[in-house]
């Protein structure tokens, strides 16, 4: 075993140990974490029940997902302030994945959700242990931006029926279901609508007037007794109902290989999207607190949290932006704040469940709508389009596809990610290949055409900007031969390679072919500024010996100086050459 392999194994083993963010507690840090933990719990308890309903689960399963996973993510993650638990986007992805297989809320559906949480957790855990956190980069920012905007709209629309008290037929698709609900708006259950609107007004008003107190908590505390007093359930209104008292008993999910195969793609999408959401929040908080964030350790933390959620009979979880912001703004210092949050949720499960019986489902719908309003960011979409049309196209395509395929949101993100990769390949297939000349002011080599500089008759110098790989080798070959054809007198072709960041076997073969074809035309290929990683590949392929070490130089000035000494044209004057050494 090499020292590098031993180091990797040691690093992997260390990630399974709780993260090193736990310092000896002091009265001040404990007090700050306790206050933050209690405050987050007051937001989390009603939110978790709302997100459970969004995921197609009975509301109290949200409390199960808000207990053990919250603590586990804090213990094994690298961010002290990241608040993990049920979140809107992951909840909706869960519902979209499982609805085709079972009726939401049924025992079969719950079993599938528990299995899905385990699959998501194992996927994230393996990525973290093998340091593969960079895989999330395949979900480019424009794709996530388009998906988040569309998902927020879909989530809000999915709650319209609960807000109005009208059943929704989701089999025809999310948008069709909403249209049918609006067409039947005359059947609105007035008490349901009034309680939902009251919840929205309370949360909106508290955000403006008393931002220090969570509006979610005020809405639940005020409207649950109102529901009981007016006999809302007896009027036909839908309430949370009876919640089994006590902490869930840990149990392994039922494994069915047919189901696992069916859910594998969705589990991968939820794992990547959930982690992308969590790590983005963690990095945003770290920028304020100057904490060090380890993405792979955070993957381990999120993976173990999802495994814990499955063992707790719950559904997939992730990092929450709103609760993490509450955690940070209330002075959380370490992950102990999340431990205190979990303890508060446990107390709620043991003691407070009878008080939540009359909580109206329309209030939970209002909580979800209020939570996702902030996810819609039209300005960011416009800015992305202005910055780069390819990125804008990826964001817009993801947005439209996610809406069109709702509630199957994973289709939208897969289409967007695929398009982003294709557009990247198209961009890199035709990188810049420019003819170089010496700029008279600063003496640097510049694009001769752009700066209208004279070019040398004896040396054709060009620069290739980008990785040299299978998709763009044809472009380099065509441009090089074209430049060679246009410079008939030039006996040397200088390729400045400081812009070539990497090379594959196709690139090696192309340089080999160029060397041979130029040599047959009486032209010498000279390389300059080759990066170390490219040079190592050339050495392994033997290309350095083929081209000749006397034709490969560390920088373009050394190359030009050597070429000048080898030009045998009696009329050649190095001082008047546009490509003179500095």
With bands split at pLDDT 50, 70 and 90, how would you rate the model's confidence at 286? confident
Residue 466 CA neighbour count, 13 Å, CB half: 20
With bands split at pLDDT 50, 70 and 90, how would you rate the model's confidence at 7? low
SS3 sequence of 355-415: HHCCCEHHHHHHHHHHHHHCCCCHHHHHHHHHHCHHHHHHHHHHHHHHHHHCCCHHHHHHH
* Residue indicated by tokens 């002091």: 26
What would the mean pLDDT of 113-121 be, rounded to a whole number?
97
Measured CA to CA, the distance from residue 209 to residue 213 in angstroms comes to 10
Res 20: pLDDT? 45
Measured CA to CA, the distance from residue 7 to residue 10 in angstroms comes to 5
Residue 291 has pLDDT above 70, yes or no: yes
| Least confidently predicted of 24-33, 366-375, 485-494, 510-519 | 24-33
Residue 252 has pLDDT above 50, yes or no: yes
| Least confidently predicted of 16-25, 309-318, 411-420 | 16-25
Measured CA to CA, the distance from residue 94 to residue 120 in angstroms comes to 11
Strand 318-320 to 445-447 pairing? unpaired
Percent of the chain with pLDDT over 90: 63
Quote the mean pLDDT of the chain: 89
What would the mean pLDDT of 482-493 be, rounded to a whole number?
94
Across 68-107, the runs of DSSP E, i.e. the strands, are 83-85
Which has the closest alpha carbon to 477: 528, 437, 433?
A: 433
Measured CA to CA, the distance from residue 225 to residue 202 in angstroms comes to 15
Strand 552-553 to 524-528 pairing? parallel
With bands split at pLDDT 50, 70 and 90, how would you rate the model's confidence at 66? very high
> In a 3-state reduction of DSSP, which class is residue 524?
strand
Residues 6+ apart with CB under 8 A from 182: 160
Residue 3 has pLDDT above 70, yes or no: no
Top pLDDT among 543 and 329 is at 543
> In a 3-state reduction of DSSP, which class is residue 475?
helix
Residue 16 has pLDDT above 80, yes or no: no
Residue 528 CA neighbour count, 13 Å, CB half: 20
- Tokens coding 181: 């609900």
Res 1: pLDDT? 52
Orientation angle between helical segments 141-158 and 378-387, nearest 10 degrees: 150
Strand 318-320 to 83-85 pairing? antiparallel
> In a 3-state reduction of DSSP, which class is residue 42?
helix
Residue 52 has pLDDT above 80, yes or no: yes
Q: pLDDT tens digits for 222-236?
A: 999 999 999 999 998
Residue 552 has pLDDT above 90, yes or no: yes
With bands split at pLDDT 50, 70 and 90, how would you rate the model's confidence at 4? low
Residue 19 has pLDDT above 70, yes or no: no
Res 548: pLDDT? 95
What would the mean pLDDT of 552-575 be, rounded to a whole number?
92
DSSP string, 216-248: HHHHHHHHHHHHHHHTTGGGT--B------SPP
In sequence order, the β-bridge partners of residue 447 are 436
Cis amide bond preceding 352, omega within 30: no
Res 379: pLDDT? 93
Top pLDDT among 444 and 409 is at 444
Residue 94 has pLDDT above 70, yes or no: yes
What would the mean pLDDT of 243-262 be, rounded to a whole number?
87
272 within 8 A of 139, measured Cβ to Cβ: yes
Residue 159 has pLDDT above 70, yes or no: yes
Residue 24 has pLDDT above 70, yes or no: no
Q: pLDDT tens digits for 502-533?
A: 999 999 999 999 999 999 999 999 999 999 99
Residue 10 has pLDDT above 80, yes or no: no
Residue 110 has pLDDT above 50, yes or no: yes
Res 547: pLDDT? 96
Residue 374 has pLDDT above 50, yes or no: yes
What would the mean pLDDT of 241-261 be, rounded to a whole number?
87
| Least confidently predicted of 166-180, 327-341, 539-553 | 166-180
Res 463: pLDDT? 95
Radius of gyration of the chain (CA): 31
Res 27: pLDDT? 76
Measured CA to CA, the distance from residue 97 to residue 416 in angstroms comes to 18
169 within 8 A of 184, measured Cβ to Cβ: no
With bands split at pLDDT 50, 70 and 90, how would you rate the model's confidence at 259? confident
Top pLDDT among 388 and 26 is at 388
Strand 433-438 to 83-85 pairing? unpaired
Q: Indicate the pTM of the whole model.
A: 0.80
With bands split at pLDDT 50, 70 and 90, how would you rate the model's confidence at 257? confident
H/E segment holding residue 553: strand 552-553
What would the mean pLDDT of 271-286 be, rounded to a whole number?
87
Residue 23 has pLDDT above 80, yes or no: no
74 within 8 A of 297, measured Cβ to Cβ: no
Residue 199 CA neighbour count, 13 Å, CB half: 33
Res 280: pLDDT? 85
Res 17: pLDDT? 67
Measured CA to CA, the distance from residue 195 to residue 364 in angstroms comes to 10
């Amino acid at each position: 075993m090499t020292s590098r392999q031993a180091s990797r194994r040691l690093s992997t083993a260390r990630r399974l140990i709780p993260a090193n963010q736990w310092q000896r507690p002091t009265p001040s840090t404990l007090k700050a974490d306790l206050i933050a933990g209690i405050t987050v719990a007051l937001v989390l308890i009603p939110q978790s029940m709302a997100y459970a309903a969004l995921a197609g689960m009975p509301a109290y399963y949200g409390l199960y997902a808000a207990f053990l996973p919250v603590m586990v993510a804090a213990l094994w993650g690298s961010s002290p302030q990241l608040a993990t638990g049920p979140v809107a986007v992951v909840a909706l992805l869960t519902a979209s994945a499982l609805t085709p297989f079972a009726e939401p809320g049924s025992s079969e559906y719950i079993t599938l959700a528990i299995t899905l949480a385990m699959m998501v957790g194992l996927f994230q855990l393996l990525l973290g242990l093998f340091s593969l956190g960079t895989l999330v980069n395949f979900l480019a920012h424009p794709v996530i931006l388009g998906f988040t905007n569309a998902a927020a709209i879909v989530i809000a629309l999915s709650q319209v029926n609960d807000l109005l008290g009208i059943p929704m037929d989701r089999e025809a698709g999310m948008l069709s279901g909403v249209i049918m609900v609006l067409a039947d708006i005359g059947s609105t259950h007035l008490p349901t609508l009034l309680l939902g609107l009251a919840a929205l007004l309370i949360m909106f008003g508290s955000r403006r007037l008393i931002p220090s107190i969570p509006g979610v908590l005020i809405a639940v505390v005020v409207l649950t007794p109102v529901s009981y007093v007016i006999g809302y359930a007896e009027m036909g209104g839908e309430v949370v109902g009876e919640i089994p008292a006590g902490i869930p008993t840990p149990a392994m999910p039922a494994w069915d290989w047919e189901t696992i195969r069916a859910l594998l793609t969705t589990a991968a999408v939820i794992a990547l999207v959930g982690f992308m959401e969590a790590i983005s929040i963690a990095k945003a908080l770290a920028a304020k607190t100057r904490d060090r964030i380890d993405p792979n350790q955070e993957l381990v933390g999120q993976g173990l949290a999802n495994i814990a959620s499955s063992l707790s009979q719950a559904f997939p979880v992730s990092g929450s932006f709103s609760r993490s912001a509450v955690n940070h703004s209330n002075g959380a210092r370490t992950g102990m704040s999340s431990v205190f949050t979990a303890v508060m949720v446990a107390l709620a499960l043991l003691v407070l469940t009878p008080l939540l019986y009359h909580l109206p489902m329309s209030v939970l719908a209002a909580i979800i709508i209020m939570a996702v309003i902030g996810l819609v960011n039209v300005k960011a979409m416009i800015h992305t389009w202005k910055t780069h049309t390819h990125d804008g196209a990826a964001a817009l395509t993801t947005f439209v596809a996610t809406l069109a395929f709702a509630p199957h949101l994973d289709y939208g993100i897969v289409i967007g990610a695929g398009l982003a990769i294709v557009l990247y390949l198209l961009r890199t297939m035709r990188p810049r290949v420019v003819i170089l000349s010496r700029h008279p002011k600063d003496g640097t080599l510049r694009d001769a055409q752009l700066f209208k500089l004279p070019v040398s008759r004896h040396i054709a110098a060009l620069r290739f900007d980008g990785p040299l790989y299978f998709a763009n080798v044809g472009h380099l070959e065509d441009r090089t031969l074209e430049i060679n054809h246009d410079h008939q007198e030039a006996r040397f072709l200088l390729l400045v390679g400081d812009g070539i960041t990497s090379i594959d076997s196709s690139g090696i073969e192309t340089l080999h072919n160029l060397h041979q074809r130029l040599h047959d035309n009486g032209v010498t290929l000279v390389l300059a500024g080759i990066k170390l990683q490219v040079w190592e590949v050339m050495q392994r392929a033997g290309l350095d010996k083929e081209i000749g070490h006397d034709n490969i130089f560390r920088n373009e000035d050394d190359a030009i100086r050597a070429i000048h000494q080898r030009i045998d044209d009696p009329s050649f004057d190095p001082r008047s050459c546009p490509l003179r050494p500095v």
